[in-house]
Amino acid sequence: MNMIDVSFVAEQNRKASTALDEDYAALGAKLSRHGVDIDAITSKAAEFQVAVPSWGTGTGGTRFARFPGVGEPRNIFEKLEDCAVINQMVQCTGAVSPHFPWDKVDDFSELRQTADALGLAFDAVNSNTFQDQTGQKHSYKYGSLTHVDRATRDQAVDHNLECIEWGKTLGSKALTVWIGDGSNFAGQSHFQRQLERYLESTKRIYAALPSDWNMFLEHKMFEPAFYSTVIQDWGSSVLCAMELGDKAKSLVDLGHHAPNVNIEMIVSRLIQFKKLAGFHFNDSKYGDDDLDSGSLHPYQQFLIFNELVDAEYRQQEGFNPAYMLDQSHNVTDPIESLMNSAAEVQRSYVKALLIDRERLYGYQESNDALMAANTLKAAFNLDVEPILAKARMQKGGAIDPIATYRASGYRQMVGEKRPSSGQSGSGIV
Ligand code: PSV
Ligand code: MN
């Protein structure tokens, strides 16, 4: 089922198709001079997928304020409708990652059927033991999976187990575990005992994973704990993943590192040791800003994809990362930000496909630093928009997703249908 009239999208595309054909032919001619077949790259672009976080469809906020948008989704069913619009326009976001209990429903089979009808699947399920829920017996104020109190740890483990059960019904294949556990004062927590408790809890969760599932361990340097965080970096994350077993891997959220950290190198290390779970894509200036992917550091994102495409090119064993967005949209229409971000991630992938890899290896082997750097830049500097637009159009999406979405009047329509409930399942994240 399409949320926006298919003939309307076709009509919008018709207006832009002559210009696209011209641009595509020009780029095709340029690439063919370097022995690259543009149609082959477009087919790869068309296969690319990045999942959308259900919580990203609501307007985000900071700890100071949240400024709700018009027609925000009030429950997971409405979030799915918005995700279907995003996928209809960009055609590379066919899966949604749910967060529990924000997206908890009475009937998970019904939820799966609804998603099916909208042409959507479910990506990794996310547990939430960083907030207290109404009526919850034990508070997570001082931690969850690592809490000093066994009953609190049990409650957090049980929540992860129920997430797996719900995920099974939804067709998910992974559980993402991010905890806010840590400390705010030096001396507040015993680092080693705290990590021992983490391992004890996560081993119980790991034991409940179906055989074809993975467990993604997400690290984050700080926040909400500001002195120490239990899984603060990829080192702690990968050590724990190694301790747990093959199905446990490290998930890289781009905003969860110290400023200036060489994230692409972390990615390379994780690939080498078959421990790369995947990504939460976003961008950041200062910390975990959750800005739109590629909005500030498109070159960094491209360098990450250079590593990913290199692994693909060399057919690295066990390489199968999960791609997902994890952003907070405070001042934009979340649908627009998610469409734009998905396209930006896809753009990095396509540019990385265009790196002349054999030439790059040659420069690396002959210590030609300048030409190695220029080889990367040559691909990054290409305008690959015609490839992205063509891939979208061939699959029934929009040549210009933002313009088509705006012209469709979808936001105004849901604005009338969804009066504000005054609260939202997402928001200050
Ligand atoms: C934590 O900052 C995080 O990146 C985790 O992925 C959470 O699940 C998500 O944001 C939503 O709060
Ligand atoms: Mn994240």
pLDDT digits (tens, 9 = 90+) for 283-318: 999 999 999 999 999 999 999 999 999 999 999 999
Q: What is the dihedral of CA 97, 424, 177, 201, to 10 degrees?
A: -140
| Ligand 1 atom 12, closest CA | 429
Q: 298-310 b/e with 16+ CB inside 10 Å = b?
A: bebbbbbbbbbbb
Decide: 132 and 377 in contact? Cβ < 8 Å.
no
- pTM, rounded to two decimals: 0.97
Radius of gyration of the chain (CA): 22
| Ligand 1 atom 10, closest CA | 429
User: Residue 84 burial by CB count (10 A; 0-12/13-18/19+): exposed, middle or buried?
Assistant: buried
| Distance (Å, whole) CA 398 – CA 314 | 33
Token couple for 204 = 């119980």
The response to whether residue 349 sits with its C-beta less than 6 Å from ligand 1 reads: no
Distance 1 CA to ligand 1 centre (A): 30
Decide: 236 and 181 in contact? Cβ < 8 Å.
no
The response to whether residue 289 sits with its C-beta less than 6 Å from ligand 1 reads: no
Q: Which atom of ligand 1 is nearest to the CA of 55?
A: 11
Distance 280 CA to ligand 2 centre (A): 5
Among the bound ligands, name the one nearest to the CA of residue 102.
Answer: 1
Q: Residue 423: its pLDDT value, please?
A: 59
Tell me which residues of the chain have a pLDDT lower than 50: 427
Q: Residue 420: its pLDDT value, please?
A: 79
Distance 429 CA to ligand 1 centre (A): 7
Distance 186 CA to ligand 2 centre (A): 26
| Distance (Å, whole) CA 401 – CA 271 | 33
Q: What is the pLDDT of residues 148-169, one digit of tens each?
A: 999 999 999 999 999 999 999 9
Query: What type of residue is 264?
Result: E
| Ligand 1 atom 3, closest CA | 178
| Distance (Å, whole) CA 174 – CA 180 | 20
The CA distances from residue 307 to 298, 352, 359, 361, in Å, are: 15, 9, 15, 13
Report the run of H or E that residue 201 belongs to, with start and end.
helix 191-207
